[in-house]
Amino acid sequence: MVSWFLDFLRKLCSVLVIIFPSRATTTAPNEEAVCTVEEGEDSPVEVYILLGQSNMLGMGKVGAKDDASKEGTLECAVKTKHLYQYLVDKDGNWVTSPTVRNVRCMDAKGGGWKVYDNEFLTIHNGARIGPEVGIGHSLEHSFPKKRIMLLKSCIGNRSLGWDLLPPGSKRYEYKGKEYAGYGESPDSWDKDKPKPKPINWYAGKQYDSDTSHAKEILKEIGKYYPDATKYKIAGFFWWQGDKDRYSEAHAVKYEPNLVRLIHRLRADFDAPDAKFVLATMGQDEMNNAKGNDKPIMEAMLAVDGNSGKYPDFVGNVATVYTHPLSKGGASNGHYNMNAETYMNIGEAMGKAMAELVPGGSGVCAGPSGV
Give the CATH number for residue 51: 3.40.50.1110
Q: Are residues 67 and 174 in the same domain?
A: no
Q: Sign of the CA dihedral 13, 354, 104, 263? A: negative
- Residue 291: which pLDDT band, with cuts at 50, 70 and 90? very high
Q: Which of 146, 178, 203 is the last residue of a domain?
A: 203
Label residue 306 exposed, middle or buried (CB < 10 Å: 0-12, 13-18, 19+). middle
User: Is residue 366 assigned to a domain?
Assistant: no
Residue 21's pLDDT is 37
Longest pairwise C-alpha distance within the chain: 68
Write phi, then psi, for 78 (nearest 5 degrees). -85, -45
Q: Give the DSSP H or E segment for 168.
A: none
Burial of 92 (C-beta count, 10 Å sphere; 0-12/13-18/19+) = exposed
- The domain tally of the chain equals 2
Indicate the pLDDT class of residue 38, thresholds 50, 70 and 90: very low
Q: Reply yes or no on whether the pLDDT at 202 is more than 70.
A: yes
Higher pLDDT, 28 or 115: 115
Q: What is the pLDDT of residue 41?
A: 60
What pLDDT sits at residue 40?
55
Query: Mean pLDDT over residues 1-15, rounded?
Result: 46
Confidence (pLDDT) at 42: 75
- The strand pair at 60-61 and 45-52 is best described as unpaired
| Helices 2-19, 293-302: inter-axial angle, 10-degree rounding | 80
Give the domain extent around 191.
170-203
User: What is the rounded average pLDDT for all residues in the chain?
Assistant: 89
Q: What is the pLDDT of residues 168-192, one digit of tens each?
A: 999 999 999 999 999 999 999 999 9
Task: Specify whether the CB–CB gap between 242 and 55 falls below 8 A.
Answer: yes
Contact 281, 242 (CB under 8 A): yes
Does residue 10 register a pLDDT over 50? no
What pLDDT is recorded for position 158? 98
Among candidate residues 150, 181, 203, the one where a domain is terminated: 203
Sheet holding 113-120, edge to edge: 113-120, 100-107, 148-153, 45-52, 231-239, 275-279, 317-320
| Other C-beta atoms lying within 10 Å of the C-beta of residue 223 | 12
Q: Which H/E stretch holds residue 51? A: strand 45-52
The separation between CA 219 and the C-alpha centre of its own chain, rounded to angstroms, equals: 23
Q: Are residues 276 and 344 in the same domain?
A: yes
Closest Cα to residue 323, out of 338, 340, 341, 298?
341
26 and 149 co-located in one domain: yes
pLDDT at 370 over 60: no
In this structure, is residue 78 part of a structural domain?
Answer: yes
Q: Are residues 255 and 235 part of one domain?
A: yes
Within-domain flag for 165: no
| Structural domain ending residue among the three candidates 148, 183, 203 | 203
Domain match, 174 and 249 both: no
Q: What is the pLDDT of residue 359?
A: 84
Say yes or no: 6 and 137 in one domain.
yes
Q: Which pTM does this prediction carry?
A: 0.88
- 176 and 52 in a common domain: no
Q: What percent of the chain has pLDDT above 90? A: 84
Residues in contact with 79: Cβ distance below 8 Å, sequence separation at least 6, in sequence order: 68, 88, 92
SS3 content of the chain, % helix, strand, coil (to 5): 35, 15, 45
Per-residue pLDDT, averaged over 330-346, amounts to: 98
Number of Cβ atoms within 10 Å of the Cβ of 216: 13
